Amino acid sequence: MVELVLISQLFPAPFPNETVYSWICRFHFNAAHSDFKNVTLKMLGVRDARPTNEFPPYIRKLSELSGIELNTLIFNFTNIHYFQPFMEQSLYGSIWANIISGDTSSLQSRLGTVANRITPGQVLRYCPLCSEEDHYQFGTSYWHRNHQLIGVTSCDKHGIHLQSVKRQSKRPQLPPLVGSIRQSSVFEQRLSELVVNEIVDIDATWQKSDTYRAYFRKLNALGMLSQSGRIKHQQLKAYLVENLEAMAALEYPFPLIYDAVLKGKFSECLFYRSSCTHQPIKHFVFILSLFDSWNEFKQTITAEEHEKANEQSKDENSDSVIDWNKGLRLVSEGASLRSAAKIIDTTVSTLKIKAQQNNLSVDTRPSKITELVERAIWRKLVLGKKTQDIAKEFNVSTGAVEKVLTKHLWLPELRRRIRYYDKLKHHEAQISRYVNIHPNATRNEIRTNVRPSYYWLYKHEQKLLYRLLPERVQAIYWPRK
């Protein structure tokens, strides 16, 4: 008992956002133990397991020695919350119980890490600027939990690329105070911030079924669901390829994920195998492509709950719920029917009828277009201009432009070929530019540094790609002695 009290006194207070491994390393230094493996880890009951494990089996013992409540320790010092919104509640509770009991040997398999072939790896990540600030504020650097999450490659505070050092199992290790400073890309920062915002969001207690419902709501808003509610996978694949192109230039595991996006397997696997537990980084990548931020995604989930709560009251007396005076005032002040209808939560057609009943002039775009305007629209369509841009230029609806498009059966195919040619020239220019700047680059170096263009040409124009690339380096096979 006396020994336990002495050990508790030597245990340092945990720092904000600190990992368990970092905490026990600082305990080792505070206690001035002679051997990390045979003294400090043995005291925690660590034998064969690595102290740097994502879910260490010695949490209960650590709670006893430090005096911190067990559930608080699990939630604040492990990454279990990282997985919560993407698994069923029963599985989440079972994994929590395994962490308490110390039976964590099979957790990576149950969480889908093994099946998805996306593992934490053999490195620990740190931000040099964070290490410097921590050393100035606390007297030592420490490992940040946010920096160890799969998918986080940029510091959410400083916007620089995280540095890596090899994990150590037999000796204590804290982040160095030096490291190269490299600014992260905008895409890299957005993705890292998305993951970090989830891990610190204590309100994100929903489960996988809620997450998928939010996906379908957003896909429906983007017009990627059919009338029967099925996903338009070809349209979704093209959308993902365009919006996730920057991901191909990042480090592991993002090139693997983007390769699946290019092949069309990413979205199909995510939805056709929704019963499986997918690695959270796949969900985060998909969320980033659909939503601007974690808060927008969260609001999409909570919006459904509010709609269900208000649905009954709206059905009972819809006129008493809708503020028609406010809607009519907005229309009279020049607001569009669509924006006014959205504010008072009604349909555009209903608000239009109400406005006409109150003798308000409604400024609508022409539903019919003259023959001269139709000819001008046709010319723009032949040049491959986007229908939304044409509609804005001529002040007509996008549907009116698409009606002109459907009158000419050959026009959609022509526009598809124009878009294809534009992409072809873009990717060809990217490869050629890199080869001109780096004339001695190998094929692997070109693939690594111009990955999106390389993969697009590899899939669609292999012959052109091989004409642009340098000759393959011939392997030399030495004869056996």
Measure the CA–CA gap between 17 and 15, rounded to whole angstroms: 6
With tokens 């997450």, the residue in question is 211
Place of tokens 């808003």: 221
Out of 3-7, 24-28, 240-244, 471-475, which region has the weakest mean confidence (pLDDT)? 3-7
What does the buried/exposed string (b/e) look like for 328-337 if buried means 16 or more CB atoms within 10 Å of the residue's CB? bebbeeeeeb
Contacts of 211 by beta carbon, 8 Å cutoff, 6+ apart: 85, 86, 283, 301
Put simply, whether the predicted model's pTM sits higher than 0.75 gets the answer no
Number of helices and strands in the chain (H, E):
28, 2
* Helix, strand, coil share (%) of the chain residues, nearest 5: 60, 5, 35
Residue 452: asked if its preceding bond is cis (omega within 30°), the reply is no
At 313 the pLDDT is 47
In percent, the amount of the chain with pLDDT more than 70 equals: 87
- Where is average pLDDT lowest: 14-23, 64-73, 101-110? 101-110
Q: What is the pLDDT, as a whole number, of residue 429?
A: 92
Question: What is the pLDDT at residue 289?
Answer: 92
Residue 361 tokens, joined: 């002039």
- Weakest mean pLDDT among 60-69, 106-115, 191-200, 202-211: 106-115
Mean pLDDT of 286-311: 77
Distances, alpha carbon 248 to alpha carbons 156, 243, 245, 251, in Å: 20, 11, 6, 8
Residue 304: the pLDDT is 58
Q: Are 151 and 284 in contact (CB under 8 A)?
A: yes
Can you give the pLDDT at residue 143? Answer: 93
- Better pLDDT: 383 or 57: 383
Residues 6+ apart with CB under 8 A from 258: 244, 245, 247, 248, 451, 452, 455
Which percentage of the chain shows pLDDT scores above 90?
19
Average pLDDT over residues 366-374: 73
Q: How far is 415 from 421, CA to CA, in rounded Å?
A: 10
